[in-house]
Structure 1
Amino acid sequence: MTLPIVHHAGFAPALPQGHRFPMAKFAALFAELERLGLTPPGAVHTPDLITHENLLRVHAQDYVDAVIARAVPAAVERRIGLPIDDGVVRRALLASGATLLTARLALAHGLACNTAGGSHHARPDGGAGFCVFNDVAVAIRTLQAEGRIARALVVDLDVHQGDGTALIFQDDPSVFTLSIHCGANFPVRKERSDLDIDLAPGTGDGPYLAAVGHGLAAALAAGPYDLVFYNAGVDIHEDDRLGHLAVSDAGIAARDRMVIEAIRGRGLALAGVIGGGYTTDVEALARRHAILHRTAARETRRIAAKDNRQAAVTD
């Protein structure tokens, strides 16, 4: 069995020259996955645009309508940090549709990964921090409305707190939110997750991985869950220009392995999204994001081999 990967070329629309968001990383990530041999026939799935109905399960109608009409107020556009034009709107609709498809594939196969997603700063009434719609929240509310899941866990390991996701699900026992982030980083005003772990700048691999182990164990103990979403942001990296946690490539790989093995080891379905990553070296950034997909593919193969051995014994 191969890892289901969700991708669309529309994840990387053109931005104004010199824009600080590394939009090219999405195409570079998919090229890296092709180079690694993770995109054989049947492995790559193409998402549809998220529907208006599903967006309204999370976001206010006036905000959704303004985005669709490319007519958000200037102040909201500044908070988002992206031009709300045709390409960016289509990207936001595709990325949300992709996370929903990733979740459906995870429920069917145990594990699936998006090549986008993790827009965790978007709130019901507006976007922020390069996030237009909160794709993970939309996917959860859609699957709950369909009766596909009752309870979900969000493991958010982006360097920035998942404030939008925390706000959306505050005081909602059907969703447990875990955010492990740099406390001195954006956003200045944090929201209350079910479990927040604030780390100091310069934390480094050892203490960071210890915090992830502690947070993950506590979150899993608060189960049961029908589905887990993992925001595998790589802006924790020592070279990232918006992160300050000083984690190495090896630390990111160890983190992703810890999370994926812990969740799949309990038989829980896992949907991975890539979260943040900000550096001018787009190729290095793509390799960093691809750690999630490489690790997930390895776990998919391991579980398939284990199942085959058990089937052989049974026969």
Structure 2
Amino acid sequence: MLKIAYDPIYAHPLPAGHRFPMLKYELIPAQLLHEGLINEENLFSPTELDEETILFTHNKTYWEQLRDLTLPPKEQRRTGFPLSARLVEREIRIAKGTIDGCHYALEHGIAFNVAGGTHHAGSNWGEGFCLLNDQAIAANCLLNKGISSSILIIDLDVHQGNGTAEIFQQEPRVFTFSMHGDKNFPFRKERSDLDIPLDDGVEDEEYLRILYDTLPRLIEQQKPDFIFYLSGVDILATDKLGKLSLTKEACKARDRFVLEQCKSRGIPVQVSMGGGYSPDIKDIVDAHCNTFRVADELYF
């Protein structure tokens, strides 16, 4: 069964300027339900995450500043959000949804988090609308519980997964792969195990060629027993922050290729949705829903 982490708190109200991107968290499951692709049994609502699991990944002082709402104003501005108890609850529920999704993926081959992909959060900082790094937290959870011993994180959001790279820079059991816009945020990049920076304006053929050439060899070399996939749709030409020039069809082909690589090798995969900032919310929702549609075709 396709299992999808979703909670209304994912789309909780934010100040003006932040509400539009949050609409997709309500609209994606609504669209999938409308199409009949899923029903209510496919959706699960995560609980809050315990502190011990958070501290596998994030610095104690940083976490306590989030928890106690004492993060310095400069650091709050870096996150892009005004800090609140509701926002912290949202972040820990997203992370728990990704952890729960790992267990569903081990059972069913794949699982999704409607939110997540908070890859700019480092061990002791928040940045770029990311406070806690959901896939890093989940990867460390798998390692600490002895469930996994070799993890590959495939980050195809248009922005480099700098926080993820920093968290795992000294962890040989986790291989971080980020293919992203070279001249895009974050402007101070961290070093992933494999970074592929792309020039502005890259189109379908070049993007897919690079991915097709890279990913199978990478999986064969690393032999992961679990994969995390960050499937941001900010690679679209319509995206106001992305700077790449991909069509929706190429974005769907990207998702199909990644998931085919996982499925054909029997490697469980957890998918977090990542970014998407096209001016028309329909473009964002449709591109994200394509990831679910492809998974349904391949796995179910």
- Which interval holds the TM-score relative to the shorter structure? over 0.9
Matching residue of 1:234: 233
Task: Give the TM-score, by structure 2 length.
Answer: 0.97
Corresponding pairs, count: 300
Deviation digits for residues 143-172 of structure 1, max 9, x if unmatched? 111111111100000000111111111132
Matching residue of 2:169: 170
Distance 2:67 2:278 in 1: 30
Aligned amino acid, residue 4 of structure 2: I
SS at structure 1 position matched to 2:202? coil
Distance 1:50 1:299 in 2: 31
Aligned amino acid, residue 182 of structure 1: G
Distance 1:179 1:252 in 2: 16
Over 4 Å off, 4+ runs: none
Matching residue of 1:204: 203
Distance 1:127 1:292 in 2: 27
Aligned amino acid, residue 120 of structure 2: H
Aligned amino acid, residue 177 of structure 1: T
Matching residue of 2:213: 214
Alpha carbon RMSD of aligned pairs, Å?
Answer: 1.3
**Change over 3 Å in CA distance of 1:130–1:21 after alignment to 2:** farther
Distance 2:282 2:53 in 1: 34
Matching residue of 1:140: 139
SS at structure 2 position matched to 1:42? helix
Q: Does 1:26 align with 2:45?
A: no
Per the TM alignment, residue 32 of structure 1 is displaced from its structure 2 partner at its CA by 1.2
Q: Does 1:35 align with 2:34?
A: yes
Matching residue of 2:270: 271
1:171-190 correspondence to structure 2 within 5 Å: 171-190=170-189
Matching residue of 1:11: 10
Distance 1:206 1:154 in 2: 23
Aligned amino acid, residue 227 of structure 2: V
Deviation digits for residues 216-264 of structure 1, max 9, x if unmatched? 1232022221110000000000010110111110011100000000111
SS at structure 1 position matched to 2:90? helix
Distance 1:41 1:184 in 2: 41
Per the TM alignment, residue 30 of structure 1 is displaced from its structure 2 partner at its CA by 1.4
* Counterpart contact for 2:157–2:231, Cα < 8 Å: yes
Per the TM alignment, residue 33 of structure 1 is displaced from its structure 2 partner at its CA by 1.4
* Counterpart contact for 2:238–2:279, Cα < 8 Å: no
Per the TM alignment, residue 25 of structure 1 is displaced from its structure 2 partner at its CA by 1.3
1:294-313 correspondence to structure 2 within 5 Å: 294-301=293-300
Matching residue of 1:161: 160
Deviation digits for residues 35-87 of structure 1, max 9, x if unmatched? 12232243212211121111101111111111111221111111100121132
SS at structure 2 position matched to 1:212? helix
Distance 2:57 2:106 in 1: 21
Per the TM alignment, residue 20 of structure 1 is displaced from its structure 2 partner at its CA by 7.0
Aligned amino acid, residue 139 of structure 2: I
Distance 1:171 1:86 in 2: 32
**Change over 3 Å in CA distance of 1:202–1:61 after alignment to 2:** same
Give me the identity figure in percent: 39
Distance 1:262 1:143 in 2: 21
For the pair shown, the structure with the greater C-alpha radius of gyration is: 1
SS at structure 1 position matched to 2:287? helix
* Counterpart contact for 2:109–2:263, Cα < 8 Å: yes
Per the TM alignment, residue 18 of structure 1 is displaced from its structure 2 partner at its CA by 3.0
Structure 1 residues without counterparts, runs of 5 or longer: 302-315
SS at structure 2 position matched to 1:222? helix
Per the TM alignment, residue 21 of structure 1 is displaced from its structure 2 partner at its CA by 6.1
* Counterpart contact for 1:28–1:283, Cα < 8 Å: no
